[in-house]
Homo-oligomer: A and B are copies of this chain.
């Protein structure tokens, strides 16, 4: 379902999703149509879910990124996770094993805004028992 050529295409797209098919074809010593058809198939298969821009949060004023775990009663996990998805500031939401059943990534302009988000906005979701924010100091990879 996914051969070596597909993997190489994905590798290239991971580094630069806007690279023209013609150039990818040149790099892999094959034709543009082959590349195009493979990519289209991967999009249809759901292997490729989309393309996105990688932003430096600090450069657009988001200086505080917090990996934030949430604890709830077991029966509330899914409802709370769904509620969390609704907030613009909550960029990622996972359910997971480990210390917290819900893990999120939250973007804020500063500590004060994070406080607002955590305590005034999110904090009001019914069922949250504990909030465990860990502020990212540096992203190394």
Contacts and interface: CB of A to CB of B under 8 A. Distances in A.
A56 B51 contact: no
Q: Which of A17, A52, A53, A61 has the most CB of B within 10 A?
A: A53
A127 interface: no
Contacts of A91: 141
Interface string A20-48: 00000000000000000000000001111
A108 interface: no
A99 interface: yes
User: Interface residue tally of chain A, by bracket?
Assistant: 35 or more
Question: How many copies are assembled?
Answer: 2
Contacts of A140: 81-82, 84-85, 93-95
A52 B49 contact: no
A139 interface: yes
Contact of A139 (B46, B53, B92, B97): B92
A2 B57 CA distance: 12
A27 B51 CA distance: 18
A47 B54 contact: no
Given A47-B60, A84-B141, A99-B134, 9 more contacts: A17-B17, A17-B51, A47-B59, A48-B55, A50-B54, A67-B94, A96-B134, A100-B134, A103-B136
